[in-house]
Amino acid sequence: MSLKVSRQEGTAPIHHLREEPHSEYHLTTITPGRYVESMRLISVWLKTGFVLAICALSACGQNEAPPAALGAALDLPAGELPTGGLFNEDSRVSQTLLTTLREFEEPGLIVHEVRLADETALVVLELAANRFTPTLLVADTGNGRGISARDALAQPGMAVVIGSGFVSELRSLSPVGLLQKEGRQISELQRHGYTRILGIRDGTLGVVASRDFHRGMFDSAIQVGPGIVEHGQLDISTADLNRQKYFRTFVATCDDRTLVGASSIPMHLYHVGQRFLAFAAENGMQCDEMVNLAGDREAILAIATGAADSADRVGYLGHPETGKAALLGFRRR
């Protein structure tokens, strides 16, 4: 056995013993600089191997993007369905929508169109107080499905439903703010939440500020908002124009009638109120209060025809079979 030593000038050698063929052993000298570089490369190799192992387990090489946040709806289903029939979930608002809905008119119920920039912006239903009585429709918490417009219109005498009430998240059945049905409180008032209370007492609709509400004021009530019109004046500032546009639904109290409606395009509340007040003035209506309901994908406006005890046809804007926490309905008297 022999020893062979190699070294560089000016450096202190570090010796590693290794076996070579022919039973000779060689001492390879590694300088401190080379030693540090070797350790760095080993560390990089180990880290690279660890990352590759994690990628193999998590499929990181498949270029899967995270799910995108759900933005505002750009369209809503609209059309007609027969009672007991099916409807097309992919149908959209068409030019014939107003023509179809006007076929649903009856004494005390008139369908109006409000235009904005040469297109239909609002579909408004005028309901005479002496022909229709309002009712608050609340989900049965036991069935876990909520109450849909289609189910509501299957009730005896129901002619129109509008909605919906505000909920904690999309398609949730957990109401946000006050929800009261015939004296029974289902959800508590939020003092710093939505600014209006839409209530029913003795078959008449009323609107009050949420800060002014007290138990016993209405038989049934729902917290809504913001107020769009208050005391006959627009109650939405131009600051609303900096916010997101949505599909809207609303209720207005006007003399001896109630007007309910929905936007057929995404809109700012400022323009909803502005166009509505112009429409009311053109038709000689005095509307003192107008409130916003939950819109976007929660928006629904549906109307039924037929005898007082059955719905033969249903026209709708929104999702008529999606369960809601609450809807406002109107029955024929």
| 201-220 pLDDT, tens digit each | 999 999 999 999 998 999 99
Does the pLDDT value for residue 256 go beyond 80?
Answer: yes
Question: Residues in the chain, how many?
Answer: 333
What is the C-alpha separation between 79 and 71, in angstroms, rounded? 24
What is the C-alpha separation between 25 and 17, in angstroms, rounded? 7
Q: What residue spans define the domains of the chain?
A: 3-60, 78-332
Peptide bond just before 164 cis, omega within 30 deg: yes
Residue by residue, what is the 3-state secondary structure of 7-53? CCCCCCCEEEEEEEHHHEEEEEEECHHHHHHHHHHHHHHHHHHHHHH
What is the C-alpha separation between 165 and 33, in angstroms, rounded? 73
Which three-class secondary structure state does DSSP give residue 277? helix
292 has which bridge partners? 250
Q: Tokens 């649903």 appear where?
A: 104
Beta-carbon contacts of residue 145 (< 8 Å; ≥ 6 apart): 139, 323
What does the pLDDT read at residue 87?
43
What is the C-alpha separation between 176 and 225, in angstroms, rounded? 12
What does the pLDDT read at residue 142?
61
Does the pLDDT value for residue 89 go beyond 60?
Answer: no
Q: What are phi and psi of 200, to 5 degrees?
A: -125, 130
> Strand pairing of 313-318 and 287-292?
unpaired
Q: What is the pTM of this model?
A: 0.75
What is the C-alpha separation between 122 and 265, in angstroms, rounded? 8
Taking only the tens place, the pLDDT of each residue in 230-251 is 999 999 999 999 999 999 999 9
Band of residue 109 on the pLDDT scale cut at 50, 70, 90 = very high
260 has which bridge partners? 125, 251
Does the pLDDT value for residue 317 go beyond 80?
Answer: yes
What does the pLDDT read at residue 49?
54
Band of residue 37 on the pLDDT scale cut at 50, 70, 90 = low
Which three-class secondary structure state does DSSP give residue 297? helix
What does the pLDDT read at residue 304?
92
